[in-house]
Structure 1
Amino acid sequence: MKNNKFNEVYPNQSLIHYPLVLELFKRGGKAKPNELYESLADYFELSDELRKKTVNENTKELKWHNNVRWARQQLVDKGILKNDSNWGIWELSDNAINSYFDTDIEHAISEDTVKGKFTQEQLESLLEKQKRIGELGEIIVEEYEKKYLISKGCIKLAEMVRRVSQENCREGYDIISFYEDGSEKYIEVKSSTSNQLEFYISINEYEKAKKLGDRYCIALVRGINLELRNCKEIKEINNFNQLINTNKVNLVPIKWRVSLGENH
């Protein structure tokens, strides 16, 4: 999806990750970098000036190409791209689709990330896996919250921790827990088999974060292993709304709601 705000500014390298992986999927999993530079520049609608700008006045190396190469190296470090591909080839790792897109199967599919068409069977398999990842993440956080409260002597509070997502999936959070003083803690769980610090948030979750303020937190459950039913880490992000207001997180629109006028 194109984003006009980048017309006159180079996007942060971390923002290049997603469209770079998308382009590689569309090209069958691997491509030459020269095939990717312009496609990514089009994605961000970069101006001609930014596309042609060099790293400095003493070199012909284009700054945009340099930024994309750094983004590629970061994906190599994350294990999303291979480090041992043939010279001049950028290639996705074997487990890229599982580790990179499991946080948002719907978006992955809508962007046609896999070369060719999805069968109904493939779709159902991906959605079922995403469901199991999400459910396990909630169970892990629920148990973590209970154990924490018990360790602080708050046994009655621990008994009241519950997964509200089982009752109503439109609350804007998944778990109600408690702080030690007895005040409620609203937790939205974001689960992934990868170790990335990126996730997707709905408009409902965003509005709930604004409304609840410092009582709303996001629990990133990273490195989930479905077979062992555990995870590598739970990272808690407190007062998400304040992070947004102070520009300490990057929000990138990936979907728009379209309404046609009555006279259309």
Structure 2
Amino acid sequence: MEVITKEDLILINELSSRSYSGNRLLSNASNNEKSHLAEIKRKLKTIAEYYSKHYSESYGEFDTSVSTGNDIAIGGTSFKRIWSGIFKGAENKQYAAQISFVMDPIKPCLNVGFYFGRASGHSLNKTQRNNLESQLQKLADNLVKTIESNEPFRRKYNSLLDFGFKAYAGSEELQGAEWMKRINSSAKSSQIYAKIFPNDFGVIDNSTVDSYVAQIVFLMGGVSPENVSSGVVLRPLSPEQRAKQAERNAEIGLKGELLIMEKERKRLLSLHLNNRSYPKHVALESMHHGYDILSLDEKGDEIYIEVKTTTRLKKDPSSKVFFLSTNELETFENESGKYRLYRVYDIEGRPDLDIVDLNKVEKRPDGYICNYM
């Protein structure tokens, strides 16, 4: 597959920011831009066709679709969403469950995730629309039942938000449990997706897209009624996908550490502690320190900061659970007066943090999983 490039993403952002007239793209776009757009659609079509074939054996046959027709939305003045996807559960994709690849209209990124259709078939009569909406809701009901009744499926669902996926109903971001409750009453325009940005070489490489699809595609197995009772076979990750998963977890952790490093720099400056040796990002040198950042307290004495980062919202109860290594726990016990633990929430959205007192958290012995309120 050809890769999506930063130039592709920027073009979509630019086209999406413009107004058009006469229901015509060329009213405010060049022929070169139109040709480039056609190339982007071709890439997206290839991506959808690849994943349709790749996962059909595990989850049944998929239909594929890509943005077609007029690129100007109904109303004639704005640019349409550009996307491709694989779908099942209905012949009309607007009333189906989908794995979609959507060019973000505002940010230079590709949105990859699980979508329930928008239920907006404009050419349908009321009876047809009601039947399709009922069919769409059954898909959502099946998914909720599968999550509730299948423990491995539920664990995998709960892990999505730790990988960086976000759950939405329309434009409202929800916790995992809230999303299940919402789709149980109305599936329309509900989705769980992640934003993938280009790497340092200006591309979104195929292995990165594959790692996100591998995390989310299992949900397609939960919408079929036969799988609610018989169970969904969860496809294991390949070695490359596992490596990408570990890389992704490390990326999330590093983002949190960099955030705290910047906050510590500002804090030390405000205290007029302008020692160039602090703060020091020791986690970049070794994983054996038992903490991530060496800094100073208000008196100028050294403190040890451990950073635990999540992509979950602070209000999410699951964000109050984190793993503590034996080395980290021993360092805390030996240096409890100097040890600080920062819990960073929503690192890829609107970051927030707590300073957690490890003396007051519940520590479970299965690898020192910590839970706090």
TM-score between the two structures when normalised by the length of structure 1: 0.53
1:91-131 CA-to-partner distances (Å, cap 9, x unmatched) read x97359xxxxxxxxxxxx9xxxx922111232122112111
Aligned twin of 1:170:
288
**Contact conserved, 1:134 with 1:190, CA < 8 A, in 2?**
yes
Aligned twin of 1:144:
263
Q: Among 182, 187, 211, which residue is 1:84 paired with?
A: 182
Distance 2:147 2:251 in 1: 36
Distance 1:126 1:192 in 2: 14
Pairwise mapping of residues 1-264 of structure 1 onto structure 2 (< 5 A)? 30-31=144-145, 35=149, 78-80=175-177, 81-86=179-184, 94=192, 115-156=234-275, 159-195=277-313, 196-225=319-348, 231-238=350-357, 240=358, 242-243=359-360, 249-255=361-367
Distance 2:244 2:342 in 1: 25
Distance 1:147 1:120 in 2: 41
Distance 2:345 2:301 in 1: 27
> 3-state DSSP class of the match of 2:258?
helix
**Contact conserved, 2:253 with 2:308, CA < 8 A, in 1?**
yes
- AA aligned to 2:265 is K
Q: 1:128 to 1:32 in 2, by over 3 A?
A: closer
> 3-state DSSP class of the match of 2:340?
strand
1:197-242 CA-to-partner distances (Å, cap 9, x unmatched) read 22111111111111001211111111011xxxx752121124x2x3
Q: 1:199 to 1:121 in 2, by over 3 A?
A: same
Distance 2:351 2:272 in 1: 26
- AA aligned to 2:299 is D
Question: 1:146 Cα shift?
Answer: 1.0
> 3-state DSSP class of the match of 2:183?
coil
- AA aligned to 2:180 is K
Q: Which has the larger radius of gyration?
A: 2
**Contact conserved, 2:144 with 2:184, CA < 8 A, in 1?**
no
> 3-state DSSP class of the match of 2:323?
coil
Distance 1:121 1:137 in 2: 25
Q: 1:219 to 1:83 in 2, by over 3 A?
A: same
**Contact conserved, 2:346 with 2:352, CA < 8 A, in 1?**
yes
1:51-110 CA-to-partner distances (Å, cap 9, x unmatched) read xxxxxxxxxxxxxxxxxxxxxxxxx963344223347xxxx97359xxxxxxxxxxxx9x
- AA aligned to 1:212 is E
**Contact conserved, 2:307 with 2:341, CA < 8 A, in 1?**
yes
- AA aligned to 1:31 is K
Distance 1:200 1:178 in 2: 25
- RMSD (Å), alpha carbons: 3.6
- AA aligned to 1:250 is E
Question: 1:191 Cα shift?
Answer: 1.0
Give the number of the structure whose residues are more often strand, by fraction. Answer: 2
**Contact conserved, 1:146 with 1:159, CA < 8 A, in 2?**
no
Distance 2:322 2:341 in 1: 10
With 120-129 and 132-141 compared, the bigger mean Cα shift is at: 120-129
Aligned twin of 2:203:
none
- AA aligned to 2:145 is A
**Contact conserved, 1:82 with 1:93, CA < 8 A, in 2?**
no
> 3-state DSSP class of the match of 2:337?
helix
Distance 1:117 1:33 in 2: 18
> 3-state DSSP class of the match of 1:155?
coil
**Contact conserved, 1:133 with 1:224, CA < 8 A, in 2?**
yes
**Contact conserved, 1:137 with 1:191, CA < 8 A, in 2?**
yes
Distance 2:249 2:337 in 1: 29
> 3-state DSSP class of the match of 2:260?
helix
Aligned twin of 1:4:
none
Distance 2:147 2:246 in 1: 32
Distance 1:122 1:160 in 2: 37
Q: 1:32 to 1:166 in 2, by over 3 A?
A: closer
**Percentage identity across paired residues of the two chains:** 26
